[in-house]
Amino acid sequence: MTTKTRSIVLVVVILLALGGAGGYGVWAYARYQEQSRAPSEVPVASAAPAGPVIFFRNTASGQGQGMVATVPASSPRGSRTLTAQACDRVDVAAGRRICLHAQIGLGNGTDEEILDADWHLLRTRTLAGAPSRARLSSDGTLAASTVFVTGRAYSSAFSTATEISATDGSSLGNLENFTIDVPGTTLAPQERNVWGVTFAKDGDTFYATVGSADRNWLVRGSIKQRTLTAIHSGVECPSLSPDGTRIAFKIKSPDPNQPLVRLLAVLDLTTDQVTRLAEARNVDDQAEWLDDSTILYGLARGAPIGDSDVWSLPADGSGAPTLFIEHAWSPAVVRQ
C-alpha cells in the first residue's frame, strides 16, 4: 500500500468516525483506486540506471505514486525507475536505505525501516509522531529520524523528536536528552526541540538544529560524549557538504511581513560566513548536496496536494533555481 493510499484511508476513517461522511469516504477511496491504476504521468524506465544515481519519492500521479524512484545523476529529467517501496522520506548510503512512512489509523505514528541495497527489510520500529526528516551517515552505519509530535508543552510553534540509532542495532535515544550547551542561555528540558541531523564522516560528529520558542541554533553533536554544542544562531535543517566544509540550511526571511517564510543559505564552517542563496520562495525541506557546488531541495506544487518538484541551486549565491526532477520529493544522491 502506497503512502497516498494510507493517507486517504486515514481521511476516510476520520470522516466516518465524525459521522455523515460515508458517501465521501467511499468516493475518495474509489477515486484513488482509479487513479493508482492509471499510467504514470512521467516516463518510466524498465531497468535501474547505471552509475551515480539519485533516489527520491515519486509524487507523479498514476502507478508508482508514493514509491521510491531513481534517475541517473547525469540525466535527472529522464525516465525514472520505480521500486516497490513506499516512503514519505528516504535516504540512501553505502548499501543501506532508511524509509519513514506514516502509519494507517487514527494514531500519529511513523514506521522507520532500515533496508539493504535490494530493499530487504533489516529492522523496523515505530516512532511516535508524523514523519519529518531522515538521514544516514555516509558509511551507512548510523541513521537519524525526526518526527513531528503533539501533546507536548513546548513553547515552540511545533514539537519534534529526533533519534540517532545504529542501522544494525540500538538507538541512542531522543537527542533532547543529550547535554546541550548554548553559551549564555539555559534551556529547560521542556524548552528543548531538536531536529534535522546531518552526519560528518568521522563516525562521531553530527550537526542539528536546537530550537526554543522562536530561537534556533546550529549545534555540533558528539555521539561518544552525548553532547550538543551551539556554534551558530538562526540555523534550521542543516545539511553538511560532501567536503565537510559548509552547511546548507534554512534561515528566517528578513521581511517582518513573512514570519513563516524560510529561505536557503550556506554557512562556511571555517570562516563563519553566511551566504544567502538565490531562492526567494519558501522552502520546507532539508537540503541535499548534489556535489560540492550545488544543492537540491523540494518545493510543493500547491495542486494537487502532495505533489512536489526537486530544484537545484548553486551553493555560492549565484545563478537561479533550476527545475531538477519533476514530481519528486526527498532526494538522496548516491555518489561513486
Reported as a single tens digit per residue, the pLDDT across 2-30 is 444 444 444 333 333 333 333 333 333 34
Q: Which residues pair with 247 in a beta bridge?
A: 240, 267
Structure confidence at residue 213 as a pLDDT band (50, 70, 90): confident
Residue reference for cell 553538511: 240
pTM given for the model: 0.86
Which DSSP string corresponds to 146-161? EEEE-S---SSSSEEE
| 116, amino acid identity | D
- Find out whether 108 and 174 touch, Cβ atoms under 8 Å: no
> What average pLDDT score do residues 202-212 get?
96
Higher pLDDT, 164 or 214: 164
Residue reference for cell 509522531: 129
> What average pLDDT score do residues 219-243 get?
97
In this model, does residue 216 exceed pLDDT 60?
yes
What is the spatial distance between Cα 143 and Cα 219, in angstroms, rounded to a whole number?
18
CATH superfamily placement of domain 42-334:
TolB, C-terminal domain (2.120.10.30)
Q: Is the peptide bond before 238 cis (omega within 30 degrees of 0)?
A: no
At 36 the pLDDT is 53
- Find out whether 193 and 180 touch, Cβ atoms under 8 Å: no
Q: Give the angle subtended at the CA of 335 by the CAs of 116 and 165, to the nearest 5°.
A: 45
Positive or negative, the CA dihedral 118, 124, 126, 127 is negative
pLDDT digits (tens, 9 = 90+) for 142-184: 999 999 987 554 445 568 999 999 999 899 999 999 999 998 8
pLDDT digits (tens, 9 = 90+) for 293-331: 999 999 999 877 889 999 999 999 999 999 999 999 999
At 59 the pLDDT is 95
Domain boundaries, the chain: 1-37, 42-334
95-104, 111-120, 301-310: least confident range: 301-310
Query: b/e map of 40-65 (b: 16 or more CB within 10 Å)?
Result: bebebeeeebeeebbbbbbbbbbbbb
At 25 the pLDDT is 35
Sheet holding 215-222, edge to edge: 179-181, 227-233, 215-222, 205-212, 193-199
At 188 the pLDDT is 72
Structure confidence at residue 51 as a pLDDT band (50, 70, 90): confident
User: 176 vs 22, 98, 123, 273, CA distance in Å?
Assistant: 42, 22, 24, 28
